[in-house]
């Protein structure tokens, strides 16, 4: 068997979004699971919309996710191969010139639909004589070129869908070359996959029907036909199209929101599969548990709340060394261990840093409790037992219990009514700050 080789082929006409990321991740995991190669190919033939800025942005997004690539290609460097393939198809009679305008084609489709016929191209151009074509070109029309499909049924074994059969009579001959000579996606993609020896094409199920025509194109050009796997598309939690909040957001937006890359990877690696979504701190764990055959044809539902839960769970188990450079300057391991269990986003750590290392607005709710606390504060050094000793002393003096005891102390010491365990925070706040915050303002 040929070695596993997959590709991720975005167009640099924008930044990657969640749907793109899922395709990239599934291909990357498949390659790493099978000891194969992962190709990043930029489909940049749309020169009007493709930019170097978007290309660099795509690379940055993949690196943020931790997805490295073994090979790299740009379609804009490969036009000579597309021209060569075009001439080969013309010579074999599989590529033929057509002269209809888009308006004429649209009218034909309307007529076919009104007659309850499938809107399939009728191959009228094949009936044109050389004189007809010359007359059309004399009138200024330049041909676009269609690939003549063979009849019958195309069958393949899809990794996810199983056996797939497509009746070729239901498809129009695809346009491979525009009237200006520009190759379209179907041609350039097949040529690249064949020339770069891609063994597995793993992509969204919206390409299933296209696959039948592409299989014939692979064969017509003399390339080995890859194995195909078509994963289900993402829906939102209600079963509709992906919400604007998450589905259409770029990875750059998610990064700015403080989403951890492994939270997103953990979610996307299992969505649509029979395996449960689990928070994984590193990619090797996702590789070990990855099995594309476990994916279902049923649509995968993406709930932003699930991403929030995964993000928080990852942070709660993250070691200080992994986040040291992303915390406020001067933050210690003790600070991190104290607050990490209450974080949903790492950026929230900056909100807690002033609590232990700065000035905050405090709330004095019960002067009697606070005054008793000031008197009961022991000398330093403090440790995790100090909070318990303090609250016991205050309770003994004031008779306060439960919320009436703990809530006023937390508000005064942190300025918040909830948060990390006070047993861990109090030693970080220190005696001087504690006295100042607990002292009743006159």
- Residue 155 is given by DSSP the state E
Q: Are 39 and 235 in contact (CB under 8 A)?
A: no
141 CB neighbour count, 10 Å cutoff:
16
Q: How many CA atoms lie within 13 A of 82 on its CB side?
A: 21
Vertex 205: Cα angle to 203 and 206 (nearest 5): 105
CATH of 333-438, one of 1.10.1270.20, 3.40.630.10, 3.40.50.620, 1.10.10.350: 1.10.10.350
Say yes or no: domain 81-177 is CATH 3.90.800.10: yes
Q: What's residue 239's pLDDT?
A: 66
CA distance 6 to 163: 21
Q: What's residue 268's pLDDT?
A: 96
Q: What's residue 235's pLDDT?
A: 83
Structure tokens that stand for 225 in this block: 């036909």
SS3 385: coil
CA distance 278 to 272: 13
Q: What's residue 300's pLDDT?
A: 87
Q: What's residue 45's pLDDT?
A: 84
CA distance 83 to 95: 12
Q: What's residue 242's pLDDT?
A: 62
CA distance 311 to 262: 8
pLDDT tens, the chain, 442 aa long:
679 999 999 999 988 999 899 999 999 999 999 999 999 999 998 888 899 999 999 999 999 999 999 999 999 999 999 999 999 999 999 999 999 999 999 999 999 999 988 999 999 999 999 999 999 999 999 999 999 999 999 999 999 999 999 999 999 999 999 999 999 999 999 999 999 999 999 999 999 999 999 999 999 999 999 999 999 988 877 666 664 455 557 898 899 989 999 999 999 999 999 999 999 999 999 999 999 999 999 888 888 899 999 999 999 999 999 999 999 999 999 999 999 999 999 999 999 999 999 999 888 889 999 999 999 999 999 999 999 999 999 999 999 999 999 999 999 999 999 999 999 999 999 999 999 999 987 6
Vertex 415: Cα angle to 412 and 341 (nearest 5): 115
SS3 6: strand
Q: What's residue 240's pLDDT?
A: 66
Structure tokens that stand for 346 in this block: 């790492």
What does residue 369 show for φ and ψ, rounded to 5 degrees? -65, -45
Q: What residues does 41 pair with on adjacent strands?
A: 73
Q: What's residue 249's pLDDT?
A: 72
CATH of 5-70+189-234, one of 3.30.830.10, 3.40.50.620, 3.40.640.10, 2.60.40.1760: 3.40.50.620
Vertex 234: Cα angle to 228 and 240 (nearest 5): 140
SS3 102: helix
Domain ranges of the chain: 5-70+189-234, 81-177, 236-316, 333-438
26 CB neighbour count, 10 Å cutoff:
25
CA dihedral 378, 384, 387, 388 (to 10 degrees): -110
79 CB neighbour count, 10 Å cutoff:
14
Say yes or no: domain 236-316 is CATH 1.10.1160.10: yes
């Amino acid at each position: 068997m040929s070695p596993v080789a997959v590709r991720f082929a975005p167009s640099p006409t924008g930044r990657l979004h969640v749907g793109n990321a899922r395709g990239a991740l599934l291909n990357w995991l498949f390659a790493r699971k099978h000891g194969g190669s992962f190709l990043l190919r930029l489909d940049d033939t749309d020169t009007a919309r493709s930019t170097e800025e978007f290309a660099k942005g795509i690379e940055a997004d993949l690196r943020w996710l931790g997805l490295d690539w073994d090979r790299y290609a740009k379609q804009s460097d490969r036009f000579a191969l597309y021209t060569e393939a075009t001439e080969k198809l013309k010579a074999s009679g599989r590529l033929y010139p057509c002269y209809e305008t888009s308006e004429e084609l649209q009218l034909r489709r309307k007529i076919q639909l009104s007659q309850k016929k499938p809107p399939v191209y009728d191959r009228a151009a094949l009936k044109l004589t050389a004189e007809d074509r010359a007359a059309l070109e004399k009138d200024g029309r330049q041909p676009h070129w269609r690939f003549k499909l063979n009849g019958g049924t195309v069958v393949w074994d899809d990794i996810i869908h199983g056996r797939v059969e497509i009746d070729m009579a239901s498809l129009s001959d695809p346009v491979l070359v525009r009237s200006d000579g520009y190759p379209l996606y179907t041609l350039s993609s097949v040529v690249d996959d064949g020339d770069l020896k891609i063994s597995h094409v793993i992509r969204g199920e919206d390409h299933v029907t296209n696959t039948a025509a592409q299989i014939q194109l692979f064969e017509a050009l003399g390339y080995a036909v890859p194995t195909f796997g078509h994963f289900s598309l993402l829906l939102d939690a209600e079963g509709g199209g992906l919400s604007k909040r998450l589905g259409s957001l770029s990875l750059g937006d998610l990064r700015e929101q403080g989403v951890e890359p492994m939270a997103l990877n953990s979610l996307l690696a299992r969505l649509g599969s029979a395996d449960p979504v689990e928070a994984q701190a590193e990619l090797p764990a996702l590789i070990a548990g990855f099995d594309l055959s476990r994916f279902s044809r049923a649509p995968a539902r993406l709930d932003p709340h699930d991403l929030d839960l995964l993000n928080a769970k990852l942070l709660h188990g993250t070691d200080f060394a992994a986040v040291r450079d992303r915390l406020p300057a001067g933050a210690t391991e003790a600070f991190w261990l104290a607050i990490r269990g209450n974080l949903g986003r790492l950026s929230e750590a900056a909100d807690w840093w002033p609590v232990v290392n700065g000035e905050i607005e405090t709330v004095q709710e019960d002067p009697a409790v606070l005054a008793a606390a000031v008197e009961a504060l022991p000398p330093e050094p403090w440790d995790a037992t100090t909070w318990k000793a303090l609250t016991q002393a205050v309770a003994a003096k004031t008779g306060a219990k439960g919320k009436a005891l703990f809530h006023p102390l937390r508000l005064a010491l942190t300025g918040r009514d909830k948060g990390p365990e006070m047993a861990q925070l109090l030693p970080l706040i220190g005696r001087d700050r504690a006295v100042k915050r607990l002292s009743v303002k006159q």
